[in-house]
Structure 1
Amino acid sequence: MDATPRPPAMAGLRRTYEGEPLLEADLAKDPVTQFTVWFNEAVAAGVPEPNAMVLATSSSGGRPSARTVLLKGCSDEGFVFYTNYESRKGRDLSENPRACLLFPWHPIRRQVRVEGRVVRVSREETAAYFSSRPYGSRIGAWASRQSAVVPSREALDARYEELAARWPDPDDVPVPEFWGGYRVIPMEVEFWQGQLDRMHDRLRYRRDGAGWKVERLAP
């Protein structure tokens, strides 16, 4: 019997996309306001994990890397997420402080792509967010040297238990020096709305001095 794995049946995944037209006249004056409108609509539509976003970074040598993280704040200043500064993404951002974010809201046939430069948020802002996290997540931030090789799951769990014993009171868990927030300051933000026959709507805000220029892109 041939046990060779078969390639995935991509032909069975064909689908059509149809949504309300996305027209220039429908857009808000700035991309953060428009993002907020779409984000709230994604929440209302029951999109799973609407704040999950693909974060793409690159090392100084041009080696790309991508992973899913969670959006934890959005304002006129930018899009905020938190992580270990010593992780691969942290090292990439230290070498090359630019990133791309992608929000894939498949159930409503939409996606948003954000490109921009990246800065660390203040320690005060990081501390405020860290104190709002569940106790287990605070201990986990200390226990996991993110992206580092670990000898086993048992070693990772033992480190967690050691730190939980050190700080049994949630209020006593300090913010790790190697952990904090990043803010992606947008320079381009693209809104994609699926349409029939792959004739999708793509409208991009591009930074233009103190304001924004809106451009339509071919699908």
Structure 2
Amino acid sequence: MRNEYAADLGLTEADLAPDWHSQFARWFADAVAHPLPEPNAMVVGTADARGRPSGRTVLLKGFDADGFVFYTNHLSRKGAELTANPWASLVFPWFPMQRQVTVAGRVEQVTRAETEAYFAVRPRGSQLGAWASTQSAVVPDRAALDAEYRAATERFAGVEEVPAPPHWGGFRVRPETVEFWQGRAGRLHDRLRFRLADGGGWAVERLAP
């Protein structure tokens, strides 16, 4: 079967939406329709105060003209690194479509109201897990983690709405660059980047592959 996102289609400046978030919305809709197993999966890269990097895959939970939002334990490794060094990169690796989106920008915490609104619609098991897990901390064994989960289950037994833990919440990556990568034959890929320019406007640049 022919891949509708085959390399010969390419990506030209004329193809782009007028802004990065509209272009991302187009490609994200394509990824959902493809369908990919986890179209909202993205690799989040952070660095500590000394510049030592780390990365992991998380799920995108929202995006608009202000940026990309994900949620996590603020005491986790990524949470601690973002507190010490509030910059991050994102990579959306949509390999079956020969597409990739990369983002770099400054990070801020979302409002508590946003965190609580999102936490309220999470599955109850995930809510309890947020209370049970001291994310990124060393634990003695699986039994200890299961015991914490049972304790959280008992703690909130009979409670209709589990509250969001005070150490849990969202981060918003406000991009300074958003690059759209389309695979092409001969490794002469198309790379078009929206870059935040001085004065707040966005420049569109073509990068060599």
Q: How does the TM-score come out when normalised to structure 1?
A: 0.91
Partner of 1:218: 208
Give the letter for the 1:212 counterpart. Answer: W
Deviation readout 1:14-47 (Å, 9 max, x if unpaired): xxx7241100011011101100000000111111
C-alpha separation between the residues in 2 aligned to 1:195 and 1:170? 54
Q: Which of 183, 186, 194 matches 1:194?
A: 183
Partner of 1:62: 51
Structure 1 runs (4+) deviating above 4 angstroms are none
C-alpha separation between the residues in 1 aligned to 2:190 and 2:72? 33
C-alpha separation between the residues in 1 aligned to 2:124 and 2:150? 13
In structure 2, list runs of 5 or more residues that go unmatched.
Answer: 1-5
Are the aligned partners of 1:19 and 1:193 in contact in 2 as well (CA < 8 Å)?
no
Partner of 1:110: 99
Partner of 1:50: 39
C-alpha separation between the residues in 2 aligned to 1:170 and 1:139? 11
Q: SS state of the match for residue 25, structure 1?
A: helix
Q: How does the TM-score come out when normalised to structure 2?
A: 0.95
State yes or no: 1:155 paired with 2:155: no
Are the aligned partners of 1:114 and 1:189 in contact in 2 as well (CA < 8 Å)?
yes
What is the deviation of 1:171?
A: 2.6
C-alpha separation between the residues in 2 aligned to 1:188 and 1:68? 20
Deviation readout 1:177-198 (Å, 9 max, x if unpaired): 1000000001000000000000
What is the deviation of 1:172?
A: 3.5
* Root mean square deviation of aligned Cα: 1.0
State yes or no: 1:167 paired with 2:165: no
Are the aligned partners of 1:189 and 1:204 in contact in 2 as well (CA < 8 Å)?
yes
Matches within 5 A, 1:75-154: 75-154=64-143
C-alpha separation between the residues in 1 aligned to 2:208 and 2:43? 23
Partner of 2:165: 176
Give the letter for the 1:206 counterpart. Answer: R
Q: SS state of the match for residue 160, structure 2?
A: helix
In structure 1, list runs of 5 or more residues that go unmatched.
Answer: 1-16
What is the deviation of 1:203?
A: 0.3
Partner of 1:33: 22
Q: Mark the structure with the bigger radius of gyration.
A: 1
C-alpha separation between the residues in 2 aligned to 1:104 and 1:56? 13
Give the letter for the 1:109 counterpart. Answer: Q
Q: Which of 32, 43, 62 matches 1:73?
A: 62
C-alpha separation between the residues in 2 aligned to 1:56 and 1:48? 21
Deviation readout 1:104-150 (Å, 9 max, x if unpaired): 00010000000000000000000000000000000000000000000
Give the letter for the 2:38 counterpart. Answer: E
Q: Point out the more displaced range, 164-173 or 80-89.
A: 164-173
Deviation readout 1:79-102 (Å, 9 max, x if unpaired): 000000000000100110000000
Identity of aligned residues (%): 59
Are the aligned partners of 2:120 and 2:161 in contact in 1 as well (CA < 8 Å)?
no
Q: Point out the more displaced range, 115-124 or 160-169.
A: 160-169
